[in-house]
Amino acid sequence: MKKLICAEDIETLYKEGKQCLTVTKQTIITPSAKDLAEEYNIVFQVQTEPVRTMNPAACETISKEGLVSLLRQLLNDAGIDSFSDVPFAYEKHSSGLKIIKGSTVKLSPLNLDDPRIRYQELITPAESRFSCGIMEIQDSCFYDDQTLESFNYIIEGELQLTIGGATFAATKGDTIFIPENQAVSWSTPNKVTMFCGKSKGVGKE
């Protein structure tokens, strides 16, 4: 707490015969007190604060535990649950707006039997009337015998789709719409990355 020195304090010092008053950098001296001190030849001596040293062990504790805890709190406030535990970083507003940091998205195998097909859901059905995510297929294929209505935008690569006995090719920049309850085969000779959106439907996931 800051200490206030006023003219009455200087009068008291003068009556006590004191010519010096020790203050700190936080002490507030009123202008009238300064004028009166000058008149009575009373000087203010600023008390030097001792240099505080920090225990090296305490520094280590702060850097390893306190800092991590602080970072986790900051990430949580930004809508990021944790470090490597989440598949992507994002910002979210109470209105429902959500901004996903694309460079942080981590894909996981869609089917543990084939790690070459990977996917990460970005918007869930609980958040919207549809779900969407990023899918990556690398030198592989899969078959969906009862689709949900969906749209798929090819970010990179080339994709072949077979539906009703006909095969179609799609490349970077193409958008694919698939109706509900269709049998579709997806394949790529190399690698394809897509943004996929699905409506809430009765088809199998």
170-203 pLDDT per residue, tens: 999 999 999 988 999 999 989 999 999 988 754 4
CATH number of domain containing 121: 2.60.120.10
- Please give the DSSP secondary-structure letter assigned to residue 35: H
Would 124 be classed as within a structural domain? yes
Q: Is 105 helix (H, G, I), strand (E, B) or coil?
A: coil
Would 13 be classed as within a structural domain? yes
Would 187 be classed as within a structural domain? yes
CA angle 52, 53, 55 (to 5 degrees): 140
- pLDDT greater at residue 87 or residue 58: 87
Beta bridge partners of 92: 98
CA nearest neighbour of 5 among 29, 37, 34: 29
Q: Is 53 helix (H, G, I), strand (E, B) or coil?
A: coil
112 shares a domain with 34: no
Would 67 be classed as within a structural domain? no
189 shares a domain with 114: yes
Would 15 be classed as within a structural domain? yes
- Residue reference for tokens 């009556």: 15
The pLDDT value given to residue 203: 42
Distances (CA, A) of 21 to 6, 14, 32, 42: 12, 11, 15, 7
183 shares a domain with 113: yes
79-128 pLDDT per residue, tens: 555 455 568 888 989 898 999 998 889 998 877 778 899 999 998 888 88
Would 69 be classed as within a structural domain? no
Would 55 be classed as within a structural domain? no
- Give the largest Cα separation in the chain, rounded: 109
CA angle 51, 55, 58 (to 5 degrees): 130
111 shares a domain with 27: no
CA distance 107 to 21: 69
Determine the angle formed by the axes of helices 7-15 and 31-39, rounding to 10 degrees: 20
CA angle 92, 174, 114 (to 5 degrees): 75
21-35 pLDDT per residue, tens: 888 877 888 878 788
N residues, the chain: 205
130-164 pLDDT per residue, tens: 889 999 999 988 888 878 899 999 999 999 999 99
39 shares a domain with 115: no
Q: What is the pTM of this model?
A: 0.55
Would 158 be classed as within a structural domain? yes
The pLDDT value given to residue 27: 80
> Quick check: 72 pLDDT over 50?
yes
Q: What percent of the chain has pLDDT over 70?
A: 78
Q: How many domains is the chain partitioned into structurally?
A: 2
The residues, any chain, with a CB within 8 Å of residue 141's CB and separated by 6 or more, are: 185, 186, 187, 188
Strand-strand pairing, 4-5 and 28-29 = parallel
- pLDDT greater at residue 75 or residue 46: 46
Q: Which domain holds residue 162?
A: 107-199
